[in-house]
């Protein structure tokens, strides 16, 4: 593959949020491709700590209900808003697929930060692949990840690291807002 292809994919990937998603279905085969690419991430000592729970269809409805019910449960009655309750699960339902990102750590083999870094590399592989397929995506890490882990019934030793929202989209391309790499590199030649 010419280097300019991968450069283009990396440099033009953006976070695309659910309000921009269309109702077009993401085929399960493409989701499997994204997950296969995630599985090719680097991993120290081959621990492969990444784990994923894929939600589509009924799974999305269950996640949306969880978000709405959680809002109701944690909001004092005097602050409760029906509009916020209704909106709590909206971005889930605007998505065609949500992938819960979790990690199975191996503390006897590698430090936790290395496992988190491996999972982040897996997510980046998935994100770049989604972009190449024309699928918008973004990684969200709500403040209540432990509750999401409970909702998903993750094994006790797993750690939820966020939700990866996906959908085909109609958002136009935006330029990256990054400062110059020259400000971030020191050369020792």
CATH code at position 38: 3.40.109.10
As a whole number of angstroms, the distance between CA 41 and CA 43 comes to 6
CA distances from 111 to 6, 7, 146 (A): 30, 31, 21
| 27 found inside a domain | yes
Q: Do the domain assignments include residue 143? A: yes
- Tell me how far apart the alpha carbons of residues 16 and 168 are, in angstroms, rounded to a whole number: 9
Mean pLDDT of the chain: 96
Backbone angles phi, psi at 85, to 5 degrees: -60, -50
CB 100 within 8 A of CB 55: yes
In the chain, how many domains are there? 1
In a domain, 189, yes or no: no
Domain annotation covers residue 122 = yes
Q: What is the pLDDT of residue 82?
A: 94
Q: By residue range, what is the domain housing residue 18?
A: 3-183
- The answer as to whether 169 is a domain residue is yes
Per-residue pLDDT, averaged over 125-150, amounts to 97
Is the sign of the CA dihedral 123, 126, 128, 131 positive or negative? Answer: negative
Read off the pTM.
0.95
Give strand ranges (E) for 28-90.
50-55
The model's pLDDT over 92-109, given as tens digits with 9 standing for 90+, comes to 999 999 999 999 999 999
pLDDT in tens, 15-64: 999 999 999 999 999 999 999 999 999 999 999 999 999 999 999 999 99
The answer on pLDDT for 1 being more than 80 is no
Q: What's the pLDDT at 176? A: 87
* In the predicted structure, residue 154 carries a pLDDT above the cut 80: yes
Average pLDDT over residues 123-135: 98
Question: Residues, the chain, total?
Answer: 189
Q: Residue 7 corresponds to which tokens in the numbers above?
A: 């450069």
């Amino acid at each position: 593959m010419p280097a300019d292809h991968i450069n283009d994919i990396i440099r033009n990937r953006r976070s695309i949020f659910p309000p921009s998603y269309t109702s077009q279905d993401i085929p399960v085969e493409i989701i499997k491709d994204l997950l296969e690419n995630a599985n090719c991430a680097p991993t120290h000592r081959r621990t492969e700590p990444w784990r994923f729970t894929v939600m589509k269809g009924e799974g999305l409805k269950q996640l949306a209900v969880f978000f709405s019910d959680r809002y109701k449960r944690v909001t004092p009655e005097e602050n409760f808003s029906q509009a916020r309750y209704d909106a709590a699960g909206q971005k889930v339902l605007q998505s065609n697929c949500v992938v819960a990102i979790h990690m199975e750590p191996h503390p006897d083999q590698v430090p936790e930060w290395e496992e988190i870094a491996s999972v982040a590399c897996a997510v980046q592989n998935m994100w770049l692949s989604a972009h190449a397929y024309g699928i918008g995506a973004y990684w969200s890490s709500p403040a209540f990840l432990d509750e999401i882990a409970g909702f998903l019934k993750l094994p006790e030793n797993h750690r939820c690291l966020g939700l990866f929202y996906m959908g085909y989209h109609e958002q136009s391309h935006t330029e990256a807002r990054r400062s110059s790499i020259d400000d971030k590199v020191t050369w020792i030649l």
